[in-house]
Structure formats: C-alpha cells, structure tokens
Structure 1
Amino acid sequence: MRLNKRVKSLILPVLIFSYLITFLGIYQIQKQSIIHFQSSEAKLQLNQLVANLNLYLSFADTYFPALVRSAELQNFLKIEDKRFKALAIEGNLEAAIKELDDVSIGYLSLSILSPDNQVEFYYENSDDPFSEIDPRIPEIVKKRRETFTPSARTLIKHNGSIRLVYVRFIDRYTLRQPLMKDWSKAVAVVMAFDIKGFDQLRQTLKQTTGRISELYAENQPLPVSGAMIQVSHAIPNLGSIYLEVDNKFIQELLNELYLRISVSFILLTLCSYIVLNNLIKRYITGPIQNLEHEITEVLEGHKQQPLPYKSDDEVGSLSRVFAKLYSQLHGAYEVTKEMAEKDALTKLYNRRMFTRCLERVLHRAEHNNQKVGLLYVDLDNFKFVNDKYGHETGDILLKAFATRLQDTVRTTDIVLKFYDHDLARLAGDEFAVLLHEFNKDAVLYKVAERILSLFDNGFTCEVGHFPISASIGIAIYPNDGANPTELISNSDAAMYQAKHAGKNQYAFYSQELASQARRDKEIETELKKKNFSEFEVYYMPIIDTKKNRVAGVEALLRWHSKALGFVSPAEFIPIAESRGYFEAIDLWVIQQVIHDSKTLLELFGNHLKLSINISSAQLSSQLFSEQIAKLFNQTDLTSVVFQLEITETFEIQDLTKVENNLHDLKKLGLSLAIDDFGSGYTSLVQLLNYPIDTIKIDKSLVDMMVDTRRCAMVIALIKYCKQQGFQVTAEGIEREEQASILIEAGCDYLQGFYYAKPEPLSAHIEKANSQPIIKKSS
C-alpha cells in the first residue's frame, strides 16, 4: 500500500485516540479545577460569614463585660427594696441599654436572673410593652449554673433567625466571678440578640449562589450530606458555621464543560485529519529534521528550553509534548530544589541553606569591608504551648510567627533606611535573621525591638492567645565571628544570655556572655544525666520563737558535680525549671526526706515539721501532683508532719490548675507554705485563694529592717499575714537585732545563719550532743 493511502487509513484512528486521551485528561483536570474553584469560593464565602459573625462576637465580647461592671448594674443588684429599684435604678439601666440601638443588630434583650432562677429584671429593645423573656433563657442559665460555668455563650433559633445568648454569673456585691463557696448565691446576667446582618448574608448567598449555610451550636453534630463541596469553620466556645454547595449547580457546570470539550475534540480531530492529509508530503521530512536538531540543542545544553512548533502535524505535536515534558521535569526540579533549601513548615531557609547563604554574605562582606549582623531568635515557653495544646497548634503558631517576622524585617523607615536580609528556621522554635548592607548598627537593635514588639502581652494567632515571648542574641561580623559556625554559635550564646536574664529581651554577644552560656550549657548537659548520686539534701533548723526550740527543718538541695564541682542552687535551679528537669529532682528530694524522717525525729523530737521545697513550675501539672500524692500515701502522715514550700523562681502560667492541685495536696494532710514571699510572683489576692498555712518572709525583706521606714513596712506585712490566720516564718536571720524585732512583731518561727547553717544529716547527728542550736535574744 502506498504511503499516502496508508496515512489516510491510519491517521484518523491515531488522531481520534490521541485527542480522546488528551481531552479526557483535560476534562478531568478542568473538572477538578471547577470543583477546587467552587470549593475555594465556598471557603471565601464561609470566611465572609465568619467575619460577619465575628463583628457581632467582638461587639458582645466588648460591650457585655463593660455592662456587667457598670455602675447601673451594681446599683440595681445592691438595692434590696423592689419599689426603689423600679423607680431609682431601672430607669437608668434601661437608658444605658437603649444606647445600643445605634448598633444595627435587630432584637436585643438583657435579663438578670436571681440564684433561684427567677427573673429580677428584663428589657428588650422592642415596642411591645408586654414582652417577656424567652423561656429557653432560664433553662440555659439553669444548666450553666448546674455545671458551675462562670460564663458562656450559646445559640438559639427564633422564627428562623439565629440568636446569640451570653451568660455570666457574678457576685451580687462585687460584680466579679463568684467563688465556689458563693456559687449558690450568684446572679446571672444574660444578654441575647439577633445577628441580623449574619442571617441576611446567609439568605443572600442562598438566593444568589445556591449556597446553603447554617450555624450549629457547640454540642450539635454537623450534618452528613451527599454534597460534593461542604466546608465548616469552628467558632471557639460557640459552635461551627457549615456551608455546602448544591450538587445540581456543580453538575450544570460539568455538563457545560463536557459539551465544550466534546465539540473541541470533534472539531480539532477533523481539522487535523484534513490538514495532515494535504500537507503530509510537504511537512514530513523537513520538520522531523528540524525537531531532531532542536532536541539535540537542548540535550547538549546549547539552549535552555525547547521552543514548541506551532504546526498541527505529528512533528508539531511531538515538539509540544517534548516542551511540556521538559517543563514538567523542570518544575519537578524546582520543587525538589525548594524542598532542599526551604523549611517545609514556614517556607523560610532551612539551616543548611542559611549556612550557605551566610558563607556568601560573609565572603562579600570581607571584600567590601562591611558588617554583617546575625539575630538568633528563640521562642520562650514554646515547649509549654506545644505540650499543652498539641503539635498542630504549635505548627500554626510557628507559621504565624514566621509570616510576621518577614513583615517585620522587611519594614524600612528613615532610621533603618534600606538594607538586605535573609531569614531562616534553624530548629524547632529557633529562627535566624541575617542583616547585611546596612549603614548603622542601630539597625540591629531596632530590628530586635520590632521582633520583641510582636510579643507584647503574649502572642495571638488564629488558634488563640499564648504566653509566648522571644529571646534574641545578636552577633556582628567580623568582631564576633569570622565564619558562619562562629557567628551562629556566638549569637546562640547571646540568645541564652538574654533568656538567662529574664527572657523577652535581646543581648549582644560578648566574651562574658560566651562564658556564661558555656557554663549554662555544661550545667544543662549534666542535669540531663539525672545522676542523683551527686545530689545531697542539707537540713536547716527552724526555731519556734515561743517555745524556744527547733520546730522544724527545711530540706535544701546541694549539688557536687564530678564534672563541674559545686554548683550553686541559684545556678542550676532556674536552668532545671526552664528545661523541664525539675520534676524528677523534686520527687527525688521528697523520697530522700521521707527516708531521713525517722532519724530527724529522733534528733529533734516528734513535734518536728519537715519542710520540702517544690518548684512552682510543676504545680500546674496534674501528673506531678498525683506522683507526690503516691509518695506521701506510702508514709504515715499521722506521726510525721510534712510541709511543702512552694518556691517562686518560675512564673505560674495556669493559676486555676495550681489552685486545684494545691487543694488536692492539702487533702493529703500536708502543710503548705509560700517560700520567699515578697520577692516572687504571688499577689495578695492569690495568697488568700491558696490553701496556705505558712508564709515565709524572704531574706531580702529581713535585710531591709536596718532602715526604720522599711522596718515598719516589714512589721506591717507580718501583722497582716497574722491577721489572715497564717503562721509566719522569717528567713535569713543573721543578727540578734533582727531576731528581736521579728519576735516582737509576732513571727512564729525564725530561720537563718544566726541560729544554724544548713548541713547534711550526718553533721546534725555529730552535733546532736555537742552544742545547742537555740540562742537567747536579748
């Protein structure tokens, strides 16, 4: 058969098959694109709904607390005579509420319910003089009261619209959240209002785009439907917004796409067949040779990418396929390159790429005689957030910080002028900012201050507000390092110094910083080993001022490291707390004191109280409290009095959990004391809420007593504690004058070098019969 006839009989099936596969692929791709586009549009519309709802939530979150604390509400709750309430109070209260009419939210009501769930006051912004409270509101209040929920917000439906209900329980006289003991007396303040704009937006979406949306309460399950596209968004402490796209609407788009693809397929196949039949002889050999030459040029590297032919013959098709394949391979290469250079989570440079970038920058700076600044940023308390809220929350927080870090460093102004920068994520919560081609050193601390400003009052991102801050170390080339390794290491050392100095600040590198950082690293390394054989418990006597005898001993931890020598508690305790090592140390000390308790009672008498320091960093851990309970449950607490002294070297993050754990420890029969009072974080309000037996006045306050004015202040503090029913112990007594004043002020116990220094148990045994501890105060 001749070639032209063979072409006629073969080319049509080949064209049909080729184009059919191509258009089927195009159809599948376009189908996914349509679905993806509609899904994205649904998410945007959902976000619009969420934003609209958040306006109402923001309004309620702002206005409702202010209303609860208002003078009108306070007067209303405090006046008992109902006649005077109506005449003197309700008018002012309703006038204050009517100011809300300027906010276009439709229906709004305010009600106050008594402890027995009776309506004391009801107001709504309607013209109906006989309006009554929604009967569902007392039921909501009743359920919240039964579950001891201080405040809550929920959803109810009314005539097809959605109504938000805010409930807050307050003490009638203080307007604050009631204590648990006063819960039965708390009144409920309830605000309910229609989210009119939100409902209108939902109806508009349904009528114009066929989007069906609904708002579900927190305890309502989301519907299970056969919709191809359905999205939802969780509203914290409220519920979820759900939106779905009608399948008929999607199917209409797909049918239209199928029709266009089919017509395009038929037309292209016929045209290609006619053109190829007429031009095959003319365009068969020459184009093949040209294509071969083009491919060879690309493969040999003489051209960067192939130029596809515009012709519709086989050679043109082959050329386009090759160009497409080359484009895909090049795209895969770019993706692989990004994976090798960028951090997968934050899309910043990874450590490997950042080091290479730093090498180039330092090489250029050396030739141009320029400085290079490296800021090493570490997120404080990130481990706490990661452990408490989960790694997913931690990842979202890191991504949010990376985005804001880019925006912060990218900012330019008159002070900073223009400079170049590179950013990287070096490790889990450690980031680096490389600044070069800047004119003034002021750029470095200005950028550091801007980064720290991201953490004013913590850090807020899409999943919540967290107690996160940053510690920043700054090193400058060439003074602080001549190569990438030295510069990174020294900026890391400066960062640790900033963290050691109290966090949420920045520090420049210096030799002193390096020495301190090495020391901290060495201590941390040794602490990781948990070699408790290097630890020893010392006991310091506590003197009863009334009975003039040893009333107790305080267990103090001492560390004699084989590698580091003697390590002061002031050095290793903050490091152990911040790195999470102190839980095991606390438990070991408790076990050791329990083991020594029999000998201590024999030395000092059965009246002896054994005091053990525990870190406040552990008090928010339920597991740690359970481990303490397990240890003391194995001990006869009826014959031994143990006292846990809560140190304040670490700021407590979750006060509610701390209070609950302290009450659980108190139930075990343990005595509780606040140690170093006056130098830590405990406020007087927390002092009254904690189930504390003893207050230990810090040595820094005792030392102030040389000043008459400050002495009076310390004495007043002691008397205040005594009036609240606390026993008072003064620490750091070094002179007879201090002891005399403190005894006269009413201190129950005294402790310090004036009486006895802390010593190991063996030393106390040796001295038991040789010298008395008690000293008479003149």
Structure 2
Amino acid sequence: MLFRTIKNTTTMLTVVAICLVCTAVLVFSIEEYESLYLESTLGDLDGLSENMASDLVSLMATDPDTFEITTTLLRLDRYENVKYAVVFDQHWQQLNVYFGSTFTPQNFELDIQLETLKHLPLGVEVREGELIALKLVGDARLPLGYLLIVNDSLGPLKNSKLTLLKRVLPLVLLVLFIAILGSFLIQRQLFLPLSRLSRLAQKIQKTHDYSLRIDIRGKQEVAELSRDINSMMETINTETQKNSEYTEQLKEQQKTMERLANFDGLTGLPNRQFFMETLRIELAKAKRDNRNLVLMYFDLDGFKGVNDAFGHEIGDLLLMEVCLRTKAFLREGDLISRLGGDEFLVLLHNDPNDIMLFEISERLVHGLSKPFEIQSWEVQIGVSIGIARASDSNFNVSEFISNADIAMYRSKDAGRSTHTVFVPDMMEDNKRRLLIANSISGAIKHNEFSVHYQAKVAPDESVVGYEALIRWKSESLGMVSPAEFIPIAEQSGKILSITKWVIKKVCQELDQILAMHTGKMVVSLNLSAHDIKNASLVDYIRAMFDKYRVDTSHIEFEVTESAYLENFDVANEFLKQIRDMGCSIALDDFGAGYSSLGYLTQIHLNTLKIDKQFVDNLNVSKRSTLVTKTIIEMAKQLNLQICAEGVETREQAEFLILNGCHQLQGYLFAKPMNLQDLLKR
C-alpha cells in the first residue's frame, strides 16, 4: 500500500535520502559549517537569480526569443556550482533548460514535481541538498514567466571535508549509488505510463484520429488519468463527428443561399444579379478581344390576362413551361435569365450572324406562340423580342440592356409576337418618347391639352351624342397625336392625370354642349385599362359630378374590349360603381381584341361599338361583312345600343343603317372639333 501511489513512493524515497544525509551530517558534526556556507551561498544565488530574472523580462515581453534566452542562461557557465536552470512561461510550460558543467543531463527530470514547484514561495531556499532559487520574471500583476536555478550545496565543502570524507567515502558512495540507481529505476518505471500518454497525444496531434485509446495500467493515479483521457477522447470523438455533420449541413446551406442569391426561385434560371455580373464580365472580355455580343430582351404578350383569368398559380406554371420551351429553342452556351415578372434576357453565345439570329428569333416567336397545356387548361400567349448588339452601346451594360428594351417595345408597337433588331435611329424615337413622357405633367399644368368632340348621329343624321377626344398642342413638340402620347402616358404611369383632366374639362363644358340641342344628348369619355384599376378614380368622378352638378344620364364611359376583359373582375367592380351613379357604359373597339362572346352575358353594357376595321371592310370582304352583321344582330338580341365608328363613306352608312345600327360616328358626318368651333356651327 505504501508504494502504490507515485506520491507515496517519491515521498518515502525523499525521506529516506534526507534521513541518511542528516545522519551523516550529525555524525560528522558539520552543521555549523554548512550553515555558514549556505548563508553565503544563498545570498549569492539570490542576487544572481534576481539579476537574471530582470534580464529575461525584455526577452519574454512579446514572443519568447529562445536564442536570446539560451544566451542569457549561458552566463551561468561562470558559476561552477550551478547544476541546471529552467525557464518557464506564465503557464509553467518549459521554454529552455541550462545544464551546468558538473551536471549530466541524461534522462533529465526535474527534482521537484511541477505541481510542487508551482506552490513554492518565490525566493531562495535549501531543498533536499540543493539550493533552489525560484524567481518571477516580470511584474506580479502581469507575470511573464518563472526562472528556476538549482545549485549544488555540497560542492564548496568538498575540499574542506576531503579528509573527513575519505574515511566514509566508500560507504557514502555506495549509499548514494544505491539511492540514485533505485530512484532512477523507480521513477522510470513510474513515469513510463505518462510517456505512453505523451506519445499518444503526439500521435493524435499528427493524425487527428480521436478514436485512439491508451491501455489502462500503472499506478493508481496513472490508471485514473488514463481512464479520464480515454473518456475525454470519446467525448472529443463524438463532438468531432457532430461537428463534421454540422459542417456538412452548413456547406449545404451555403450552397442553398448561393443558389437563392444567384438564381430565380420559381424557374431556376439565373436571376438579374447573376446575369448582370456575368454580362459585365463578358462585355469586358468582348471589348478586350474586339468581339461583339448579342442580347435578347423579351416579355410575354398576354401574360397578365392569363394571371387575371386563371390565377397566379397557373401564371407561375406557365412561366416554368416557357422557360423549358425557351431552353429547347436556344443553343448550347446561350445564357437565359429571368429579369422579373414575365421579362427575360438571353445572352447569345459566339455572336451569331444575321441569318442565325433570325432563325433563333423565329423559333422563339413561333414556338412560344403555340398553346401551352397547363393543368388541363389550354393557355396561349405571344412574345415580343428586342435584340441589341454590344457595339451599338459601346459595351456599356446599362445602354446594352436599354437598347434591347427599346427594340422590344418597338416589337410591341409593331403588333406583338415579332422580333426587332435595335438600330441607332431608334434612340431618337426613344428620346422623343422620353421627352413626351416628361412633358405631360407640364402640358396639364400649362393647359396645353384641349378636348375635341366628335358627333354621333342617328340614322336620320340628327346628333344624339358626342365622344370627347383629347388633343395636345405642345409649345416645344408641336401637335402630338393621341396615338403617340396615350401609349407613352400609359407606360409612364401618367394616363390617370390625363383622364382626370378630360373628365374635369367635360364636366365644365357639358352645359354648353347640352344647350345646343333639344333632344337626349350623351357625351362619351374614354377610360384606359390603367384607369379602371385605380379605385380612387371613382371618387374623383363623383367629386367632379357633384362640383359641376352634372346630370349623369348625359355621361357615358367607353372601355375597350381588351381593357375590360384583361381586368374582368376589377373592371366589373369599377363600372358597377359608375353605373350606380347613373352613367351608361359602352364597350369600345368590339371585335378587335378577344371577341369572347361569352363575356357579353356576364357584363352589363348599354352600348356596343363596332371597331373601325370591320367598318372599313364592309362590302370589301365577305367575311368582315358577315361578322359585322352577326355583331349587330347579337347586340339587338342583347338589347344593346349599336354604334359604328369610323364611318367614312355613304355606302358604309347605308349598310349599317339597313342592318339596324342605332348610331354612326365618323368623318362622313363630323370631324372632332373643340367647343368654340362646335358652338359656331
């Protein structure tokens, strides 16, 4: 039991050694001599260690300089009594060791255990036949490390005690030899498991294999330490596996975040951010290599109508199908991106020539115009494509995309479902469009707009109403056609301001118009698709009627067939409020848009206006003539008033009157006139 623990074993050996030394000292009566010797030696060692500790401060203030520390320790060569010196850092980790000339460092182990050393008081003391100096390097509030110097306390006495020692030298040498040998063998045996632990730690450090374990054997403390280390390694191994799994999850999440940041969540196509960055890089390469790039900008014609008619879920599925179909029409290397909504960009690979560019565009136009089968619904759309070359924009990203956008809107103006290549002349048209858009607000403010009234006549050519038409005479632009500025106003979001201005103007002039006639008179005002989606316009109309005391039975609002059906539910709600005020409703341009006759049974109208294209082809095209007759007959059956617009010949008028048309409108009877000219008639 006594030698079961390292602590007991080391302690007993130390006690036995001290007893032997003390006995020898007592026997040979050298206490007084040793006392004087130690007092002198302690003073010298204290001064030496204090000076060296001070010198080490500058060497350990930052990163310890091993070379300089070694140089400082070599100053101990002048002191033959120094056995060894050790420099520790503030965590008691060994930094450097010095061995005196009389000390053999083989299998060097500290005479004092590290834990015991940590609890020694700072200063100089005699311990187990050695002079031990332990000094703090640095300030007590901010220690940098510790200096340990061990002196041989018996060396200086050798000469004076030589005679005395000769008498007992054989016995002393034998005892010392046995003690040293026994201590060495015992310590070696005791610390062997610790060496194994050290080698295991080094192996783990090199291999990072935390599944390694150590055999549990040795003294009690070592066995317990081995078990604790194995338990710790088990915990580390488990946590490492968890961390590896967590790291893999983080990598997957990072990939997902990158995908969300660079790709469209619905279609999986590169998004605007990714495409713009790629485009910048490709433009820089093309400019450097003196190559050209071709960009397509297209959006879907009629997509909004699909959303309104079938819902956004069908719209999303349609976008996904459009992407799949578009990819099939493009070449390998072409990059397609969803810009947003129903707008797409395509960067064409290797600058295709005009023939190839035409073929790709035709494939897209015809391919995307074919019906899509979406959840048993047959959905049909079109596509308008704008094409631009990088050289026309001087390889500038913004201008490059803007040029393609301009060409795309030119395709829409040309009737949609077509493709247009940008040419520099289009910039002038675009500048004019921008100038018109920017001038609208000023035109309203400076009263540049005017209302012209075109008469509607009965079959006997008596005036039964007027259509209010807006005209613009700009100080800077001259006369601007409604066909030019109305679409621009719709695209720039300024159509509502124009509509409000016309409504207010008609309300102001209505009494003068009514005073010209004795019979029933109705003035028609046009509403755009943008107007009927703005609920606040109803409140504005009501406010104008109240302000100018308008008899609403004299007011009719015209909505185009396409505007009505593209926003069917919204239009129904909007026009219901208009009807509730007492106004009548006319469906304008009937036959030019959807011609979905089924809708006529679901909407409440007063008047059906036949589009001018049918009137133009009367007695010219049998098909158009037959369709016109059918429209008139259908309107009669629905008890609707029928108004034909664009009547310019007597033959057209006679045909329409003969087939039962109630109202006629066109240059044959009257051109649009302002109020002043109208009053002069």
CA–CA separation in structure 1 for the residues paired with 2:622 and 2:306: 44
SS of aligned partner of 1:536: strand
Residues 6 and 332 (structure 1), Cα distance of their counterparts in 2 relative to 1, 3 Å cut:
farther
For 1:652, the equivalent position in structure 2 comes to 565
2:587 matched residue in structure 1: 674
Residue 559 of structure 1: how far off its partner (Å): 2.8
In structure 1, which of residues 474, 487, 492 is the aligned counterpart of residue 400 of structure 2?
Answer: 487
Q: Give the distance between the partners of 1:455 and 1:753, measured in 2 at CA.
A: 37
Q: 1:281 to 1:494 in 2, by over 3 A?
A: same
Distance in 1 between residues matched to 2:289 and 2:368, nearest whole Å: 34
Question: Displacement of 1:509 after TM fit?
Answer: 2.4
CA shift digits 1:113-135 (9 cap, x unpaired): xxxxxxxxxxxxxxxxxxxxxxx
- Tell me: CA distance 1:737–1:636, structure 2 relative to 1, closer, same or farther (3 Å): same
CA shift at 1:594, angstroms?
Answer: 1.6
Task: Provide the C-alpha distance between the structure 2 equivalents of 1:675 and 1:623, rounded to a whole number of angstroms.
Answer: 23
Offset of residue 599 of structure 1: 1.7
- Within 2, Cα distance between the matches of 1:581 and 1:383? 20
**Aligned letter for 1:543?**
V
User: Is residue 615–residue 648 contact of structure 1 (8 Å, CA) maintained in 2?
Assistant: no
Aligned to 1:728: 642
Summarize the Cα distance change of 1:542–1:333 in structure 2 as closer, same or farther, 3 Å threshold. Answer: closer
Tell me which of 372, 383, 386 is aligned to 2:293.
Answer: 372
1:342: which partner in 2? 262
* 1:541-562 C-alpha deviation (Å, 9 max, x unpaired): 223343x533222111123345
Match of 1:642 among 529, 532, 555: 555
- Are 1:500 and 2:413 counterparts? yes
Partner of 2:469: 556
2:347 aligned counterpart, secondary structure: strand
Amino acid at match of 2:294: G
Letter in 1 for 2:645: E
Structure 2 residue corresponding to 1:358, chosen from 279, 282, 289: 279
Specify which of 521, 524, 538 is matched with residue 452 of structure 2.
538
1:28 is matched with none
Where does residue 600 of structure 1 map in the other structure?
513
Q: Residue 420 of structure 1: CA displacement?
A: 1.4
Q: By how many angstroms is 1:425 displaced? A: 4.4
Q: CA deviation at 1:711?
A: 9.3
Q: Deviations over 1:449-470 (max 9, x none)?
A: 66664675579599x9988764
- CA, structure 1 residues 747+368, in 2 after alignment: closer, same or farther (shift >3 Å)? same
Q: How many angstroms does 1:444 deviate by?
A: 4.5
Which segment drifts farther, 432-441 or 443-452?
443-452
Deviations 1:653-680 (A, max 9, x none): 2545545654554343323323334434
User: Using the alignment, how far apart are the partners of 2:560 and 2:298 within structure 1?
Assistant: 29
The answer (yes or no) to whether the contact 1:702–1:730 under 8 Å persists in 2 is yes
Whole-angstrom distance in 2 between the partners of 1:383 and 1:719: 30
Task: Confirm or deny: 8 A CA contact 1:419 1:438 kept in the other structure.
Answer: no
Q: For 1:261-298, what per-residue CA distance to the aligned partner results, in whole angstroms no more than 9, with x for missing partners?
A: xxxxxxxxxxxxx999444544778998xx8xxxxxxx
| Deviation for aligned residue 1:694 | 3.0
Once residues 455 and 427 of structure 1 are traced to their aligned partners in structure 2, the CA distance between those partners, rounded to angstroms, is 20
Secondary structure at the counterpart of residue 361 of structure 1: helix
Residue 573 of structure 1 is aligned with which of 469, 483, 486? 486
Q: Distance in 2 between matches of 1:470 and 1:737?
A: 39
Matches within 5 A, 1:201-212: none
Deviation of 1:382 (Å)? 6.5
Aligned residue in 2 for 1:696:
609
Q: Structure 1 CA distance, aligned partners of 2:279 and 2:300? A: 22
In structure 2, relative to structure 1, the CA distance for the partners of 1:514 and 1:672 (3 Å cut) is same
Shift of 1:702: 3.4
1:754 aligns with 2:668: yes
**Is 1:509 matched up with 2:422?**
yes
Number of the residue aligned with 1:102: none
Structure 1 Cα separation of the partners of residues 594 and 500 of structure 2: 23
Match in the other structure for 1:421: 334
- How far apart are the structure 2 equivalents of 1:324 and 1:530? 69
Residue 764 of structure 1 pairs with residue 666 of structure 2: no
TM superposition score normalised by structure 2:
0.54
**For 2:527 and 2:535, how far apart are their aligned partners in 1?**
14
Given that residues 666 and 691 in structure 1 are in contact (C-alpha distance below 8 angstroms), is that contact kept between their aligned partners in structure 2? Answer: no
Q: Give 1:610 shift.
A: 1.5
- The residue that corresponds to 2:499 in the other structure is 586
Written as runs of structure 1 = structure 2, the 5 A alignment for 1:58-73 is none
Match of 1:471 among 375, 384, 389: 384
Report deviation, 1:428. 5.8
Task: Say yes or no: does 1:431 pair with 2:352.
Answer: no
How far did residue 565 of structure 1 move? 3.9
* Shift in alpha-carbon separation, 1:718–1:649, aligned structure 2, 3 A: closer
8 A Cα contact 1:731 1:750, kept in partner: yes
* CA 1:419–1:442: 2 relative to 1, 3 Å: farther
Q: What CA distance in whole angstroms lies between the structure 2 residues aligned with 1:275 and 1:758? A: 114
- Are the structure 2 counterparts of residues 602 and 403 from structure 1 closer, same or farther at C-alpha, using a change threshold of 3 Å? closer
| Structure of higher CA gyration radius | 2
Residue 753 of structure 1 deviates from its aligned partner by 2.8
Q: Kindly state the Cα deviation for residue 499 of structure 1 after the two structures are TM-superposed.
A: 3.0
* Counterpart Cα distance in 2 of 1:310 and 1:644: 83
Q: Do the aligned partners of 1:459 and 1:468 also contact (CA within 8 Å) in 2?
A: no
Cα gap change, 1:411 to 1:749, in 2 (>3 Å): closer
Matches of 1:514 and 1:695, distance apart in 2? 40
**CA deviation vs aligned residue, 1:565-609 (integer Å, no higher than 9, x gap):** 433222233344466654453343223212211121223346322
TM alignment of 1:240-259, pairs within 5 A: none
In the alignment, which of 510, 518, 528 is matched to residue 615 of structure 1? Answer: 528
Q: Any gaps of 5 or more consecutive residues in structure 2? A: 1-6, 8-108, 116-190, 213-228
Equivalents in 2 of 1:458, 1:627: separation in Å?
Answer: 41
**AA of the residue aligned to 1:372:** L
Q: CA deviation at 1:642?
A: 1.5
1:538 aligned partner, one-letter code: H
In 2, distance between residues paired with 1:466 and 1:683? 15
Partner-residue secondary structure (3-state), 2:566: coil
CA contact (8 A) 2:411 2:417 kept: yes
Letter in 2 for 1:749: Q
CA deviation after TM superposition for structure 1 residue 634, in Å: 6.5
Q: SS where residue 757 of structure 1 aligns?
A: coil
> Residue 554 of structure 1 aligns to a residue in which SS?
strand
Output aligned runs, 1:104-183, within 5 Å: none
Q: Distance in 2 between matches of 1:428 and 1:712?
A: 40
Q: Once the 2 structures are TM-superposed, how far is the Cα of residue 434 of structure 1 from its aligned partner?
A: 1.4
Whichever residue aligns with residue 403 of structure 2, its letter is: N
Indicate how the Cα distance of structure 1 residues 459 and 613 shifts in structure 2: closer, same or farther if over 3 A, else same: farther
Which residues of structure 1 form unaligned runs of 5+? 8-273, 292-307, 772-778
Deviation at 1:740, TM superposition (A): 5.2
| RMSD of aligned Cα (Å) | 5.4
Secondary structure at the residue paired with 2:401? helix
d(CA) in 2 for partners of 1:716, 1:489: 46
User: Partner of 1:497: helix, strand, or coil?
Assistant: helix
Compute the TM-score of the two structures, normalised by the length of structure 1.
0.48
Structure 1 residues 708-744: Cα deviation after superposition (integer angstroms, max 9, x where no partner): 9589648845862674344333333444555455555
